[in-house]
Amino acid sequence: MVIAPSKGDLVTSEVSGYLELLQKEGSKDLLGKAMDALNDWIPNSKEEVELELNAELWCRLGRLALAHNQPKVALFTAESALKNGDPRVLKKDYAQIPITRLRWYAVAQALYGESLHRLLDG
């Protein structure tokens, strides 16, 4: 019996491919495709691996957006990482969130600040 890959597996694979290409060539088109793929995936709020992976992919995409001088996109990715489907994050109930995911949220906060700083500096 063949088990079909989950939506999260498919999106992870697709976005990882875009991230690799973005590191080599920074096209806005690739950035948009990666964002579209991630926007289509809402991680299962009961699956820690999905929640952490979603936050990580948004953060990695945001760092690449900044590297390609796209601070507005990076700001959006930081917000997306922080609002990735876990209701505990929206309530700021961080005590119940594993430290490995909290680290990605810290990266997202730093990314948000850096993106905002670049937008303000023009």
pLDDT tens for 85-108 read: 788 888 888 898 999 999 999 999
Whether residue 27 is predicted with pLDDT greater than 80 in this model: the reply is no
Look at 85 and 120; give whichever has higher pLDDT: 120
Q: In this predicted structure, what is the pLDDT of residue 52?
A: 95
Domain boundaries, the chain: 7-121
For residues 1 and 8, give the distance between their C-alpha atoms in angstroms, rounded to a whole number.
20
At 2, the pLDDT band (50, 70, 90 cuts) reads low
Q: Of all helices (H) and strands (E), which one includes residue 6? A: none
Q: List, in order, residues 6 or more apart from 19 with CB less than 8 Å away.
A: 34, 57, 60, 61, 64
Residues 44 and 85: their CA atoms lie apart, in Å, by 7
Q: In this predicted structure, what is the pLDDT of residue 86?
A: 83
* Distances in whole angstroms, Cα of residue 121 to Cα of each of 8, 57, 61, 114: 37, 26, 22, 11
